Structure 1
Amino acid sequence: MDTEKKQHSEVTVDDILQVLGPFGRFNVFNFILILFPVFLAGMYSSVYNFEAMDLSYRCSVPECADDPLMVNFTIPHDEDGVPYKCLRYAPYNTSLFDNSSQCMPHQFDSSNEIECDSYVYLEEHSIVKEFNLGCQDWKRSLVGTVHNAGFFLSIPLTGLASDKLGRRMAVVFACVANGVFGVIRALSVNYEMFVIFEFLEPAFGGGVYTACFVLALELVGPKGRVFISLLFNTMFILGGVTVTVLSWWLQNWRYLVFVIYTPAVFVFVYIWLLTESFRWYFSKGKYEEGLDVLKKSEKMNNSSVPNEHYDQVEKHARKQREARKYESSESKQSSFQQMFTSAMIWKRLFICSFLWTCSTLVYYGLSINAIELSGNSYLNYIVVIVIEAPANICKLLLLDRYGRKKVIAVAYFLTGLILVNYGFVPAGTWSIATYLGGKFFITLAYNSLYVFAAEVFPTNYRTTLLAICSTIGRIGSTVAPQTPLLTRYYENLPTMLFGIMAALSGFLVLTLPETNNLKLPDSLKEAQDQDRREETPETTERTVDTKTRL
């Protein structure tokens, strides 16, 4: 009886958030601000596919003054009658050619195919023409690899900035960096300059999505987390669709880059507009600032929170901070050292990093390979992106109802099953439907992973730990642009690789604790308690029910 009374007398931040409501004017105003950089990030994550998009071109035949009518006998053709891009027939004797005379078939040796010295470009909307990258596919695929390699630097950099300087500063720094380096990239005078700024832009700004997600997640209670994730995923999808449509319309990579990166520069005004996370304030001992954020939310939402609730929340935050200091003094380790000497943290860090790597490899691999499918490349890419929308709706409906572990594990297993068997489906409608099915389930798993991983790490180093997972996970997205090259060995090798990696991820998810309807852990001890609750589910259910009644 005393225990129950004590539980009812304790008030946490999540209880105040329940009173304030998840979507009052305060929340909506800040969510709109936060979602704009997420929309931009959606465009930036896809733009390299169109900057370095392959073009239609053929060998230049200077002996015939590049007369297109001479292509039939100067360049070999494939089985479909399409001229080869990188080969031409060798002339018998160049001295016999006279620019004033017409080229003739007998002047070329059709049994001797040679590589091209120069090219005639039939399109001009990507860097392939401007920087003369004909028949240098490795330079095209390198653009995507370099872009994703930039995240190895940006995500930990943004994570540290978020935990040390605040969530707001991390969002502003990353987004403005995107804008500055992106605009400079649009002014590139050669391939080398382009590649350098292709790396620097994500290297300093690639962590904007993670910084925005953590800030938004910490502004709502447990019931609002999945919906916030849905909003993020929806804006990210809109960004990908928007950059595809813009590329299709503009047909000029420089205009495209200017248009999408310029707005990011103006995000610097968020320093005065965006609200800092009260959880971050509490974790840094800035209790007055944290309470001011909650009271501002109360005023804007026209809610009424008893003053004693704020007093109890402040006491609870002070108690947690003092407990962390005490644990540090007892163990003679800082909270950061404790975090990284915890076997539990290392286990979760390894598992989440592996899941992130597999997810990015499969997610981006399927998107990139979609451009190589037959038909209109822009429409293919849009369809593969849009299929993510129903996956995100399913996430909203399923995660809270069935729990994080079950939904994510099943999604990984179904991704693996579909993609491993993709190669055995006859080409046509069913083949495309199967491909989209794989993208659907990996999207469900990958986007749910953001929520799940954020819930298993403690507040004071949540962004840093998420950043480490996301950084290691970028190995997958860095390798993904190279996966189309696997088709040289076996046509369906990329999808088989994706399927096997997804199946392995499904098994690993089952080793993490369930976090559904539990409050975010604010300390290492609370994160460790998640494993104990996993071992005693009945106790967990009673605790959740008690907090729900509050």
Structure 2
Amino acid sequence: MDPEKNKENNEVTVDDILQILGPFGKFNVLNYLLILFPVLLAGMYSSVYNFEAMDLRYRCAIPECENQDANFTAPLQEDGTPAKCLRYAPFVNFTNTDYGYNETCAPHFFDTSTEIKCDSYIYFEEHSIVKEFNLGCQDWKRSLVGTVHNAGFFVSIPLTGLISDRYGRRLAVVFASVANGVFGVIRAFSLNYEMFIVLEFLEPALGGGVYTACFVLALELVGPKGRVFVSLLFNTMFILGGVTVTLLSWWLQSWRYLLLVIYIPAILVFFYLWSLTESFRWFFSKGRYEEGLNVLSKCEKFNKVKVPKEHYDQVEKHAMKQRDARKFEVIETSRSTFKQLLMSTMIWKRLFTCSFLWATSTLVYYGLSINAIELSGNSYLNYIVVIVIEAPANVCKLICLDRFGRKRVIAIAYILTGIILINYGFVPEGNWSTAFYLGGKFFITLAYNSLYIFAAEVFPTNYRTSLLAICSTIGRIGSAVAPQTPLLSRYYEFLPTLLFGIMSALSGFLVMTLPETNNQKLPDSLKEAQDQDRRGQTTNENERERNTEEPQLSTGIDTKTRL
């Protein structure tokens, strides 16, 4: 075979250089440590609203029985405790008598046939805004905190994606993280509920895209073999963030101190402008080849490895060819690259599918987490257990994604989530019920976290962050609705989990419409993204041909083919 021809057919790419540099050399480890710190903080911020607006122990304030624990003044709930929001009406003819105060606080002074709403409350705890802003028996105001928080992502994710694609991954990380810190600290000094709820929206609206920005940057620093492990690192830090904020809330018992402790460190990310490495892939996509190659060269020196100079030359030529191809497309169609992207039926199909998968994932993932706090027992421990169950799901993802492929693993995870949650309502309370609940969280975590990798691999580099941002933004409908799902239990106790199960099962079948991306290089252009579908079709055709040939092989008709 002609060596020159073979050389042309085996053109060196960025992923080949990354393989020489090593996915986890000193250079990448240093950058991962910097990137993972905002991810840890993001894990805290995604859970903190559960503890800011956590329900407290309180009862009606009974003027006739001030400073006395008079359970006979309120109707009893199913669990035998006095109602928190209702009390018995006092007999009018007794409340206006000349009896002393203590003489009016007795069972026969209250009309047990008439229940009235409480006018004021006595709080036995004060670690959330419920006591601070007197939100007793206003559960809609508590649940609104979570909805408003997650609604902020409708603004932040596209905004961060725009900054990331236009001005760089590094600037997007810094902007989002510092915005989190500034508005989080200000929220700690809220004077009333209205001020608090506005800041609860602004903080994620400007800083909620930090996870996506960090993930894209980290993903573009490694080759195909390192992507799943990078995702595992991100998921682990996110879980650690959730556990950390839970323990801090349990220890501090003050929502104001909690906000100050977790948000002040985010402001320090500002110094990443001088310490964090920019994505060389982003430099290439902008035609800034020298800067991109400088990043690779810096990595080479830091890791003390040697990359042949001709490799850099070939990568630069390849990047220039892509740039020229994009220019040609623009000249031919008189449209911008982004408009061409939106004219692609393939892109629209992937956008719709990934967006629906994202909406399902966030609805089920956050819905199960939020409802865990309402389960019996210690609310902090319940939340930690539901978060920690994500760790084995992430290990499972690490083992399975590369071995069995993205599509198969994610589809099975969604379908198993659906089966478990649809049947959850038919399982008697106890250990089995708990196991089913945790099983649902396990598989939706496996699907959700795997989706980040899968979705990133089906979109081209130029607008990867923007397209991921669109998917994530639409998907945030699920997380915005999740805090309201407990209200469905008023109509049927297991209606929330039934809804979660049906959407998960449907998502499992939708996954099969996407191309398999396992061990393939990231598409850098629209054409390469379209080639993914063609490769998938070719693979399916080859499998069908092998299946039709199999009977012939077994009978020995075509021994040459068998050999």
Bin for the TM-score computed over the shorter chain: over 0.9
Match for residue 386 of structure 2 among 384, 387, 393: 384
Q: Tell me which residue corresponds to 1:76.
A: 75
Query: Do 1:533 and 1:540's aligned partners in 2 also have CA atoms closer than 8 Å?
Result: no
1:262 equivalenced with 2:261 (yes/no)? no
Mapping for residues 40-55 of structure 1, pairs under 5 Å = 40-55=41-56
Query: Do 2:64 and 2:101's aligned partners in 1 also have CA atoms closer than 8 Å?
Result: no
What percentage of residue pairs aligned between the two structures are identical?
78
Equivalent-residue separation in structure 2 for 1:418 and 1:263 (angstroms): 40
Q: Tell me which residue corresponds to 1:548.
A: none
Query: What amino acid maps onto 2:25 in structure 1?
Result: G
Equivalent-residue separation in structure 2 for 1:14 and 1:529 (angstroms): 18
Query: What amino acid maps onto 2:114 in structure 1?
Result: N
Give, in angstroms, the shift of residue 72 of structure 1.
2.5
Query: Do 2:417 and 2:504's aligned partners in 1 also have CA atoms closer than 8 Å?
Result: yes
Tell me how many residue pairs correspond in the alignment: 539
Q: Render the CA deviation track for 1:455-479: whole Å, top value 9, x for unaligned.
A: 0000000000000000000000000
Equivalent-residue separation in structure 2 for 1:480 and 1:7 (angstroms): 53
1:293 equivalenced with 2:306 (yes/no)? no
Query: What amino acid maps onto 1:81 in structure 2?
Result: G
1:244 equivalenced with 2:230 (yes/no)? no
Match for residue 237 of structure 2 among 235, 244, 261: 235
Equivalent-residue separation in structure 2 for 1:451 and 1:227 (angstroms): 10
- Compared with structure 1, are the counterparts of its residues 409 and 302 closer, same or farther at alpha carbon in structure 2 (3 Å cutoff)? same
Q: Tell me which residue corresponds to 2:334.
A: 332
Q: Which runs of 5+ in 1 are unaligned?
A: 542-550
Give, in angstroms, the shift of residue 96 of structure 1.
2.4
Q: Tell me which residue corresponds to 1:547.
A: none
1:436 equivalenced with 2:435 (yes/no)? no
Q: Which runs of 5+ in 2 are unaligned?
A: 544-563
Look up the SS of the partner of 1:510 in the other structure: helix
- Compared with structure 1, are the counterparts of its residues 348 and 118 closer, same or farther at alpha carbon in structure 2 (3 Å cutoff)? same
* TM-score normalized with structure 1 length: 0.96
The structure whose Rg is larger is 2
Equivalent-residue separation in structure 2 for 1:98 and 1:330 (angstroms): 95
Equivalent-residue separation in structure 2 for 1:539 and 1:369 (angstroms): 46
Q: Tell me which residue corresponds to 2:559.
A: none
1:156 equivalenced with 2:151 (yes/no)? no
Query: Do 1:357 and 1:472's aligned partners in 2 also have CA atoms closer than 8 Å?
Result: yes
Q: Render the CA deviation track for 1:159-208: whole Å, top value 9, x for unaligned.
A: 00000000000000000000000000000010000000000000000000
Query: Do 1:391 and 1:440's aligned partners in 2 also have CA atoms closer than 8 Å?
Result: yes
Equivalent-residue separation in structure 1 for 2:15 and 2:304 (angstroms): 18
Q: Render the CA deviation track for 1:260-306: whole Å, top value 9, x for unaligned.
A: 00000110000000000000000001000000000000001111001
Mapping for residues 33-432 of structure 1, pairs under 5 Å = 33-68=34-69, 71-93=70-92, 94-96=95-97, 98=99, 100-102=101-103, 103-432=105-434
Equivalent-residue separation in structure 2 for 1:101 and 1:396 (angstroms): 67
Give, in angstroms, the shift of residue 79 of structure 1.
3.6
Q: Render the CA deviation track for 1:476-525: whole Å, top value 9, x for unaligned.
A: 00000001111111111111100000000001000000000100000000
Query: Do 2:393 and 2:443's aligned partners in 1 also have CA atoms closer than 8 Å?
Result: yes
Look up the SS of the partner of 1:304 in the other structure: coil
- Compared with structure 1, are the counterparts of its residues 127 and 8 closer, same or farther at alpha carbon in structure 2 (3 Å cutoff)? same
Q: Tell me which residue corresponds to 1:534.
A: 536
Equivalent-residue separation in structure 2 for 1:199 and 1:111 (angstroms): 44
Q: Render the CA deviation track for 1:391-445: whole Å, top value 9, x for unaligned.
A: 0001000000110000000000000000000011110011101100000000000
Query: What amino acid maps onto 2:410 in structure 1?
Result: I
Query: Do 1:353 and 1:469's aligned partners in 2 also have CA atoms closer than 8 Å?
Result: yes
Q: Tell me which residue corresponds to 1:490.
A: 492
Give, in angstroms, the shift of residue 539 of structure 1.
10
The farther-off stretch of 243-252 and 58-67 is: 58-67
Query: Do 1:154 and 1:203's aligned partners in 2 also have CA atoms closer than 8 Å?
Result: yes
Look up the SS of the partner of 1:96 in the other structure: coil
Query: Do 2:152 and 2:201's aligned partners in 1 also have CA atoms closer than 8 Å?
Result: yes
Look up the SS of the partner of 2:12 in the other structure: coil
Give, in angstroms, the shift of residue 73 of structure 1.
2.0
Equivalent-residue separation in structure 2 for 1:373 and 1:508 (angstroms): 32
Give, in angstroms, the shift of residue 540 of structure 1.
10
* TM-score normalized with structure 2 length: 0.94
- Compared with structure 1, are the counterparts of its residues 502 and 78 closer, same or farther at alpha carbon in structure 2 (3 Å cutoff)? same
Look up the SS of the partner of 2:20 in the other structure: helix
Match for residue 466 of structure 1 among 462, 465, 468: 468
Query: What amino acid maps onto 1:199 in structure 2?
Result: F
Equivalent-residue separation in structure 2 for 1:188 and 1:317 (angstroms): 51
Please, what is the CA RMSD of the aligned residues? 1.4
Equivalent-residue separation in structure 2 for 1:41 and 1:13 (angstroms): 30
1:27 equivalenced with 2:28 (yes/no)? yes
1:511 equivalenced with 2:510 (yes/no)? no
Runs of 4+ in 1 over 3 A off after TM superposition: 1-4, 6-9, 97-101, 538-541
Q: Render the CA deviation track for 1:95-135: whole Å, top value 9, x for unaligned.
A: 12655443222211111110000001111110000000000
Equivalent-residue separation in structure 2 for 1:336 and 1:77 (angstroms): 62
Query: Do 1:92 and 1:108's aligned partners in 2 also have CA atoms closer than 8 Å?
Result: yes
